[in-house]
Chains A and B, each alone.
Chain A
Amino acid sequence: MRSWDKVKKMAGAENGEIADAASDRPETPNSESQLSGDGDKPERLSKLPLTRIKAMMKMDPDVTLASQESVLLISKATELFIESLAKEAYVHARQGKRKTLQKKDIDNSIEELDSFAFLEGTLD
């Protein structure tokens, strides 16, 4: 538990304004709905670990604080992004008559879609 307090402090969240629920428990790879879960994750709102997402958000020096809901929404958007990138890459794999996604399929997807343009130069 203490290590999570440290993460919070380093992230500058003394008031605990950043997703606090997740810090009540150590590593759980799901959303912050911990109250009802007996480890069964009945209402998992996010497949990605919110504490990790939060930590990544805090890497931006201009970000002061982030509400719980914003962390959740960034996480969900990222999940949708991954799906979207994978599906687009799959189109290219099929064009190459392959059933295995390869890096070049990702690269081609980035070149082709405007919305993926922000990724140019970042994956090499």
Chain B
Amino acid sequence: MAEKIEDLNLPNAVITRIIKDALPDGVNVSKEARAAISRAASVFVLYATSCANNFALKGKRKTLNGTDVIAAVQEMEFEQFMDQLKDSWEAFKKEQKDKKDAAEKRKKTKEGEKAEGSSTGQPSQDEVNTSTEAAGNTDSMEQGEDKEDEQEM
């Protein structure tokens, strides 16, 4: 697996698209500039990750979570990103919830078919399993001190 920044970078087409969408029509980007931005983006990922990881370690957690990233972005002085980040986070949580609901629905249908009509169903168990496995860690135990931060959102 790649060990250097040079080996892992983001797709040029996507980077170009993001750049173009951010700039007025008619503005061009030289190849060197685009390569520089791409490289800068890679460095950003690493730096933000490292910063976020420090927050996780401070909270004695081994899993990076959303609040760690938010805290990192703030520390890196990118306050202007906050609103959009939070919007994305909300959209993501909603999507996870919808997925979960859809999965439960499918499960119930299956169970109903298997049991030939006598569905006992223990939804609460499934719910717990699903939320621990799939939906990241909004339910994780490490709420602790971070909860205060979360409420600001």
Contacts and interface: CB of A to CB of B under 8 A. Distances in A.
Interface in A97-113: 99-103, 105-107, 110
A34 to B, nearest CB: 9
B73 to A, nearest CB: 5
Interface of A is mostly: helix
A106 B68 CA distance: 28
Nearest to A33: B95
Contacts of B92: 45, 68-69, 72
A77 B40 contact: no
A45 B91 contact: yes
Interface in B98-137: 99, 102, 133-137
Interface residues of B, number: 71
Contacts of A122: 39-40, 43
A106 B33 CA distance: 7
A114 interface: yes
Interface residues of A, number: 64
Nearest to B19: A86
B151 interface: no
Contact of A73 (B3, B10, B70): B70
Contacts of A105: 33
Contact of B95 (A45, A60, A93): A45
Interface string A62-95: 1111111110111011111111111101100100
Contacts of A63: 49-50, 53, 64
A44 to B, nearest CB: 10
A69 B138 CA distance: 9
A52 interface: yes
A74 B27 CA distance: 27
Contacts of B91: 43, 45
Contact of B28 (A17, A80, A99, A118): A99
B46 A67 contact: no
Contact of A47 (B2, B14, B133): B14
A119 to B, nearest CB: 5
B84 A16 contact: no
Interface of B: 1-3, 5, 8, 10-11, 14-15, 17-19, 21-23, 26-30, 32-33, 36-37, 39-50, 52-53, 57, 62-66, 68-70, 73, 76-78, 80-81, 84-85, 88-89, 91-93, 95-96, 99, 102, 133-138, 140
**Nearest 10 pairs between A and B by C-beta?**
A67-B136, A83-B22, A66-B64, A73-B69, A115-B77, A103-B32, A69-B66, A64-B62, A100-B28, A70-B64
